[in-house]
Structure 1
Amino acid sequence: MGRGLARVIAVWAVSTLTMLVLAGALPDFKLQSDDGDSATRIAVTAALGAGAFGLLSALVWPLLVRALLLVPALVLGLLTFFLNGSLLLLALRLIPDGRGDANAETAVVVAAVMSLAASATGGALAVRDDDAYRRRLYRLADRRRRRDAGAHRPSTPGTVFLQLDGVGYDALRDAVRKGLMPTVGRWLGVPERPGAPAPRPTHRLTPWRTDWSSQTGASQLGILHGSNHDVPAFRWYEKDTGEVMVSNRPACAAELQRRAVARTGHGGLLTADGASRGNLFSGGAEQLALVLSVAARRGKEHRSRAGYFAYFSDPANAVRTALSFVAEVGREIGESTRARLSGRRPRVSRGGLYPFIRAFATVVERDVVVAAVIGDMLAGRAAVYADLVAYDEVAHHSGPASGDAEKVLRRLDRSVALIAQAVEHAPRPYRLVLLSDHGQSPGETFRARYGLTLGDLVRAGCGLPVPRRARRTLPPAPGSVRAGEDPPGAEARGAVRAALHRPVEEGPGERPPRRRAEPIVLASGNLGLISFPDVPHRMTREEIDRRHPALLPALANHPGIGFVLVRSAERGPLVLGAHGAEVALDELGDAPTPAALGPLADFGPGAADAVRRTDSFPHAADIMVNSWYDPLDGDVLAFEEQIGSHGGLGGAQTRPFLLWPRALTPPVADGAELVGAEAVHQVLRRWLREDQGLDVPRVTPADDRLPDGPAPTAFPASGQVVQDKTQ
């Protein structure tokens, strides 16, 4: 009690001194009457103002944040300054005789500086007094325990699954080797500096291989719910409904989760006393914050922004995050300006709203999710799964190995360290598991290299009008032409030139009448999907050739295309490549040779299985296209405007990581490979059973854990995937 009172007095004294300094430095901020006051009187006025501001921050601020939960989180972060300034103005009005005064702009500055000073003082005192810090954490835990009164808190270890979005296996190893992630390095037994003794390793690291769709929607759905069947890409067209599904739309995420639950018959990985933080899907957890699949559902308990309340209810947290947000916006503008002035290549546009989107992902989302995870640990929850998206967002625009991305990895390591430090204050032991959902592959965009988009190429192959830029000569892939040979893509350029003899699109009024529905072309990183909406079924290769004889040759022979998947009525799934190469997937043996794999040979031994599985999906596109891939440099060509991309096959994007405590059993047997997000789900379920004896319960369609949506439908069996050989 005495130490707690001493800390309050210390924070009050620092806040008073800060207010005095600001009153002397800012001409529009005063703490005395118009006739002037003695130094003692001014000090008393500052003490009264600081005390009133501290009380208002503790009592009124949480109510303000709760009242503003309906405000978008990005706007709430910006409003933090003005709300804090309003509290300061109110505190100044409470000073007797009207001795405190400030205009609105000055009040915002004073409130921000005072909140940071108070937070820094309180944090420093807590760090110096370990017992006080421990008591504070336990008070937070007790508050959560009272809210969850009656819940059984076993002494068995809980598990925190922390997803570092987009951080590939090789990217993590390089970051540890460079000293960018010292916390992870200590877990792996890596010395912090050359010559230093190696710490005792506590974790093991292994890669795993994604499905063809190497993106968060497919991977996280498979990891959390045990099935990513019929998720061919990040976005795809469904002919039966006429809708484009996009994984990060709330309604689509809810439908994907509903389908997964209907297929597996259980609610998800987190059904038993779990928490889901910052994810696309809930995993069946009852404790939710910033979960997209429930964002469209009504009800206070499912309000998508409710997860911000616990963090922003502390004004010091709010101000610190808001200042970091502004600093991150400035950092992004400065970095993108330097990249543009230096002529750095490859490069994509980073203007518009992107600086604010980046700042939200790297600051606000990170801070809120980390605070929520620590709160879950203090509450003793059995399983927590959280996603930190910062690296993925920055790597898309700056490159996976850029200096910008490395700075983000440093901050992510600090976030991991904060969560690890909370373990000793939790009411139960915890296992910390780090993993990623995919990696990122570098490379310039398809449009930057060839001057046209995948959509332009498809339209040309279909004989439809295209923009003038598509008339440019298509360059061959670098280093792929030998003397005396026709350059790769010659057939494609001939097809495009022939198609371009049709009218070129000049303007809205000059397009010819449309006789057929135009193809829908969608991109997911370096994976392209082409669908013909006027044909109700999936078109066969024979039907496409009859309708658009130049299309498949134009795609397969283009130097920027690695391979094309199409279904033949006679031979089943076919992979097409340059110079007439064809591979019938159903005719491949169990161990096909590189020659037999044809266009798939450069993409690794598991490429054929991944493509075959996607071909089995009911909503696979009529034509699926994977970009060119350089196996030496690991580069791909994104069909989106990204210089770090993922979504298809090729390079680091398909090689995420799994980092687990040595106390748990290995994910797979020695020499085996962990393949597919569904297999990762089985491993995580096994670990929960080992530590807690828990398994996810079965559910029925009437179970209230099912997301809102139509009644479940039946789906055909999934394609073959390599299963965990230790099961």
Structure 2
Amino acid sequence: MRVPRIPWRRLGAASLRVGAVWLAGTLTMLVLAGVLPDFRLQSAGGDSATVIGITAAVGAGVFGLLSALVWPLLVRAFLLVPALVLGLLVFFLNGSLLWLALSLIPYGRGSADPSMAVVVAAAMSAASSATNALLAVRDDRGYRHRLARIAGRRRRREGQGAPPRTPGTVFLQLDGLGHAVLEEALEAPPGGEPLMPAVAALYGRTHRLTRWRTDWSSQTGASQLGILHGSNTDVPAFRWYEKETGEVVVSNRPTSAAELQRRAVERTGDPGLLAQDGASRGNLFTGGARQVALVLSVSARRGKETRSRAGYFAYFSDPANATRTAVSFVAEVLREMVQSTRALLRRERPRVGRGGLYPFVRAFATVVERDVVVAAVLGDMLRCRTAVYADLVGYDEVAHHSGPRGRDTRQVLRRLDRSVRLIAKVAEHAPRPYRLVLLSDHGQSFGETFEHAYGLTLEDLVRAGSGLQVPRRAGRTASGSEARAAARAALRRPEDSGQEAPRTPRRDTGPVVLASGNLGLISFPDHPGRLTRERIQELRPALLPTLAEHPGIGFVVVRSAEHGPVALGAGGCEHRLQTGEVVGRRDPLAPFGAGARQALLRTARFPHAPDIMVNSALDPATGAVHAFEEQIGSHGGLGGEQSDAFLLSPLELSPPVEPGQSLVGAEAVHRVLRRWLAESAEPRLLPGADHLAAASEEAGPADGTAGSAGAQEPLPAAPGG
């Protein structure tokens, strides 16, 4: 019988690590006891230095033990708490554990005010995490071994055999990052390094960069539905009104996302891109994956297989992860407040309001969601998932308020680059080979809002052109006055006498006006079916001329009973989309480039296209547009860089398109990704085991720290974190 060999060296290294972390916690507690007024480690009458040191050591040990044993149970107990709320509760929970640890000290020397307990617990968790990271810097081989052991235990627990030799694929979506902005971020300035060095290294050595053009609805709902499920038909915008139900569909609303996914699956007869052993992380839709985390379309479901926040709670089950992310969350809130105040003092233009809940929304998108999604991807690679699709939304959220090329957004891009570097490094140590594909769902176009430029909203303009009551502030603007004058002339009403326009009759609720970036949607709920141009002119004679002639409007799309969908422009010009015939002196679609006609024609044929679609004007020289929402970086319509997304793919995969051809539409991207998954499953494309081992030995340590998602066992602290 073979006697098992005791891994003394491994046990010694683990003991050293535990001891160092314990010592760091003890020293942190001693320092804080000396500087904080409501935190003490001695009795009221005073104690010797030895007793105080023992008290700190016992307190740190008990706190560490409680963090390891009790913390996961606390996180599980808060399973139904919204993600943002739990992120804020981290400090309170951690402080409660410290208060409990001090109360368990046998001779009762330690005590802390509740507020001080929160501060001390956060500092101790941060010190422990930093100590783990510093020790791991010199333990690259041990880090790789720990990754392998965790992966092996998971495979055995799930009844899996040896890891597959076929490559897996990680699709990492950098939400809202346009092709041109990425190119700028990959260029190194003279004597410096690129804004995104990790992505630049991929592009320079192993990957190709391809531009793809989005559909007219250049936003995440349409793009991601098409990419993951192969069809974004009948998604005219980010939000739209459906007359048969009387409801507004909003892409980022859980019930709407679930319905859009159901329709796409029904239309294609296919569950999605990720149906075969896939994972969906941080997305609007599942893509057919059974493993999901922070996926909106299943966020309201309850079940072991579809718990969309499972990765979130697995990540926060590690108190070090929880504390680090919570501290970063608070820092990001403060950073946004400082940046917003600086923009206000400098009178930067264009600018939108950044108060209210926005600092917290930004912090959640750029810190909490990023950390959880990245951790989930690392866990998926260790579990050898075949396909992973993850969305990092931080850039898109900040660019809406700070602009696509603002100083704030550049900082977000740097942090996203570190996430890409971490995923790429861990992929080199994963049990199976992985291919990393980076892509975006759309770009962003810069410009001041429609309201700021013209003094009224799109809804104000529509109501003025319809002869309906508008706010006094809109009526006093030049645009509002012109619109109302045009309406009075068309309706043969007397000159303005200073009275407001009559209210809408009770039986007429007025038009529903919705915005999706610089795309506006107008529907008349009291009239079933899609109204034709001729019928709209009967009901609202001045509306279409008012919209088409406004300087902030690029074109207006309606359906003509005679010519089908048409795009109307200023001066009575129009572009008949079915035939391409242009009536008038100029083509209203000319500033929007090649492909505009086909994009408009496709969307105008959707069953749920609104009665009127409005696209803002475009400045051809700068690419600036006017969002109908409070955004200075916008997307959703046509114009500028919002329609130019990117695809950064490994050279070992086939080119996305043949030379000289263009990649157009999210559904076309879906077909490309499908092809790449099929190629990865072919044995002839597999790298050899020796090659993988050599790559693993040459790779540097992972650069960060993360917890595994979808599993109870957290990842070890990564070297260099």
- TM-score normalised by length of structure 2: 0.89
What secondary structure sits across from 1:599 in the alignment?
Answer: coil
Does 2:59 align with 1:49? Answer: yes
For 2:499 and 2:80, the matched residues in 1 are separated by 45
1:404 is aligned to 408
Give the deviation of 1:595 after TM superposition. 9.2
**CA RMSD, Structure 1 to Structure 2 (Å):** 2.1
What is the aligned partner in structure 1 of residue 174 from structure 2?
164
Q: Secondary structure at the match of 2:333?
A: helix
Secondary structure class of the residue paired with 2:656: coil
- C-alpha distance 269-504 of structure 1, shift in aligned 2 (>3 A): farther
The offset of 1:474, in angstroms, is: 3.2
Matches of 1:320 and 1:186, distance apart in 2:
28
1:676 aligns with 2:665: yes
- Of 234, 240, 246, the residue aligned with 2:244 is 240
1:187 is aligned to 2:198 = no
Q: Which among 388, 392, 399 is matched to residue 396 of structure 2? A: 392
Q: Which residue is equivalent to 1:520?
A: 512
> How many Å separate the matches in 1 of 2:623 and 2:441?
19
- Deviation for aligned residue 1:142: 3.4
Q: 3-state DSSP class of the match of 1:154?
A: coil
Return the alpha-carbon distance in structure 2 between the equivalents of residues 587 and 672 of structure 1. Answer: 23
| Contact 1:204 1:660 (C-alpha < 8 Å) held by counterparts | yes
Task: For residue 123 of structure 2, give the secondary structure of its aligned residue in structure 1.
Answer: helix
1:568 Cα shift?
Answer: 0.6
Q: Which moved more, 1:661-670 or 1:178-187?
A: 178-187
1:359 to 358, 363, 370: 363
Distance 1:624 1:474 in 2: 23
**Aligned twin of 1:102:** 112
Contact 1:467 1:504 in 2 (8 A): no
Identity %: 71
| Residue 550 (structure 1) aligned with residue 565 (structure 2) | no
Match of 1:484 in 2: none
String of CA shifts for 1:648-693, please: whole Å, max 9, x gaps. 0001100010000111110000000000000000000000000115
Q: Aligned pair in 2 of structure 1 residues 351, 420: CA closer, same or farther (>3 Å)?
A: same
Tell me how far 1:23 sits from its aligned partner: 1.5
| Match of residue 297 from structure 1 | 301
Structure 2 distance, partners of 1:296, 1:215, is: 23
Aligned counterpart for 2:380 among listed residues 359, 376, 386: 376
Q: Take 1:575 and 1:656, find their aligned partners in 2: how far apart are those partners?
A: 25
Do structure 1's residue 332 and structure 2's residue 336 form an aligned pair?
A: yes
Question: Is 2:625 aligned against 1:636?
Answer: yes
In the superposition, relative to structure 1, how do residues 14 and 605 fare at CA in structure 2: closer, same or farther (>3 Å)?
same
* Selected match of 2:486 from 487, 495, 502: 495
Alignment of 1:221-260 (within 5 A): 221-260=225-264
Deviations 1:191-237 (A, max 9, x none): xxxxxxxxxx1101011000000000000000000000000000001
Shift of 1:151: 7.1
Local SS of the residue matching 1:244? strand
Distance 1:66 1:147 in 2: 21
- Aligned pair 1:17/2:9, yes or no? no
Residue type at the aligned position of 1:466: V
1:268 aligns with 2:260: no
Aligned partner (choices 137, 142, 145) of residue 135 of structure 1: 145
Report the equivalent of 1:529.
Answer: 521
Give the 3-state SS of the residue equivalent to 1:280 in structure 2.
coil
| Cα distance between partner residues in 2 of 1:36 and 1:325 | 38
Match of 1:463 among 464, 467, 479: 467
Deviations 1:588-639 (A, max 9, x none): 28xx9x9998111111110000000001100001110100011210100000
* Offset, 1:299: 2.5
Q: Aligned AA for 1:313?
A: S
Distance 1:636 1:328 in 2: 29
Q: Is the 8 A contact 1:462 1:548 kept in 2?
A: yes
Q: How does 1:2-151 map to 2 (within 5 A)?
A: 2-150=12-160
Q: CA deviation at 1:491?
A: 7.8
- For residues 499 and 358 of structure 2, what CA distance do their matches in structure 1 show? 31
Which of 622, 632, 655 is the aligned partner of 1:666?
655
Preserved CA contact (<8 Å) 1:115 1:319: yes
1:588 matches 2:567 = no
Distance apart, 1:42 and its partner CA = 1.8
Within 5 Å, which residues of 2 pair with 1:559-570? Answer: 559-570=551-562
Q: Which residue of structure 1 lines up, in the alignment, with residue 716 of structure 2?
A: none
Corresponding residue for 2:218? Answer: 214
Supply the AA of the counterpart residue of 2:158: D
Secondary structure of 1:656's match?
A: strand
| 8 Å contact from structure 1 (residues 169, 439) kept in 2 | yes
Q: Show structure 2 runs of 5+ residues with no match.
A: 1-10, 189-193, 684-721
Give, in whole Å, the separation in 2 of the partners of 1:354 and 1:302: 29
Q: CA deviation at 1:424?
A: 2.0
**Does the CA contact (< 8 Å) of 1:465 and 1:502 recur in 2?**
no
Secondary structure at 1:464's aligned position in 2? coil
2:588 is paired with a residue of what secondary structure? Answer: helix
The aligned amino acid for 2:572 is G
Q: Which residue identity lines up with residue 574 of structure 2 in the other structure?
A: E
Distance in 2 between residues matched to 1:516 and 1:73, nearest whole Å? 41
Cα distance change on mapping 1:379 and 1:338 into 2, 3 Å: same
Match of 1:483 in 2: none
| Equivalent-residue separation in structure 1 for 2:114 and 2:452 (angstroms) | 48
**Worse-matched range after superposition: 156-165 or 25-34:** 25-34
Whole-angstrom distance in 2 between the partners of 1:551 and 1:415: 49
> What's the offset of the Cα at 1:496?
4.7
Q: How many Å separate the matches in 1 of 2:473 and 2:287? A: 46
SS at match of 1:566: strand
How far residue 147 of structure 1 moved from its aligned partner, in angstroms, is 4.6
Q: Secondary structure at the match of 2:300?
A: coil
Structure 1, residues 448-485: CA drift from partner, whole Å, max 9, x if none? Answer: 0111111111111111111112223536xxxxxxxxxx
Q: Is the 8 A contact 2:239 2:251 kept in 1?
A: yes
Determine the C-alpha separation between the residues in 2 that align with 1:503 and 1:33. Answer: 83
1:301 Cα deviation from its structure 2 partner:
3.7
TM-score (norm 1): 0.89
